[in-house]
Amino acid sequence: MTETSRSGYKTVRGLTRGLDLLNMLNRIDGGASTARLAELTGLHRTTVRRLLETLQAEGYVRRSESDDSYRLELKVRELSEGFRDEQWISATAAPLLAELLQKVVWPSDLTTLDVDAMVVRETTHRFSRLSFHRSMVGRRLSLLQTAAGMTYLAYCPDTEREQLIDMLARRADEEYQLAREPARLENLLLRTRHKGFGENYKNWNQEEKVAAIAVPVHSGERLLGCLSLVYMASAMSIEQAAERHLGSLQRTAERLETELCHTAGQF
């Protein structure tokens, strides 16, 4: 049997019930019998047994021969392997970025580190009437030429920073020249930490008309990524952007940190 979802498509009732069983087994320590699972889920015992046999055949649960109870198998862990931190961070950030857009009008990006660049995970570019790009999710941003990149380098652990800079310094492209100037780079990072935000004013060779300010986003002691406000450089200076919008940006980052800590505690 099927039911109609909010999107108008029909939902598969058997799949829904199977997921309910997996969720229930995940909450029960030591497994449970068919009768117990039927009681907890409100499903008929025959339905529960049929679903459990299917899940066992697929390798997601196993039946104990000693007490006829069912327990989760290791294969269920595969279901979460493709769900990275960045994905639930993005889901948490979306409504907060939408609220920020109402206050600042200019678009904002949530970025996280991906090996050697910051990657846009969530954005309001597609909603802002002042946006100059509609497709930003997944775009890679330079660590040395963007506000998000410099903010990440300024606030990440010392060991991580050293490894990142060493990796970038080995690259011959002009984009990475700053990594080969340790004194200059360190001064810029000290300035970023002192001001509490990173900045880019026409420095990024891919977007020479763009400016941005960015703040770090933490979860406890862990640096998760950065939140950036992006605008046309001709509209205002860095100082004007900070005076007008830094407070809103920082408050959104703080709310995001609170939400992420709450969400993380549920996993």
**How far, CA to CA in Å, does 38 sit from each of 33, 44, 241?**
9, 6, 59
Report d(CA 143, CA 205) in Å as an integer: 12
Among the listed residues 83, 101, 113, the one whose alpha carbon sits nearest the alpha carbon of residue 216: 113
pTM of the model: 0.68
b vs e for 173-187, b when ≥16 Cβ sit within 10 Å of the residue's Cβ? eebbebbeeeeebee
The secondary structure element, H or E, covering residue 229 is strand 222-232
All structural domains of the chain, each given as residue ranges with its CATH number in brackets, are 2-80 (1.10.10.10), 85-264 (3.30.450.40)
Average pLDDT over residues 219-228: 89
| pLDDT at position 30 | 67
Provide the residue type at 132 as one letter. F
Q: What is the pLDDT of residues 71-116, one digit of tens each?
A: 888 677 666 545 455 566 777 888 999 999 999 999 999 999 988 9
Q: What is the pLDDT of residues 192-217, one digit of tens each?
A: 999 999 999 998 888 889 999 999 99
The tokens for 97 are: 């970025």
| pLDDT at position 108 | 94
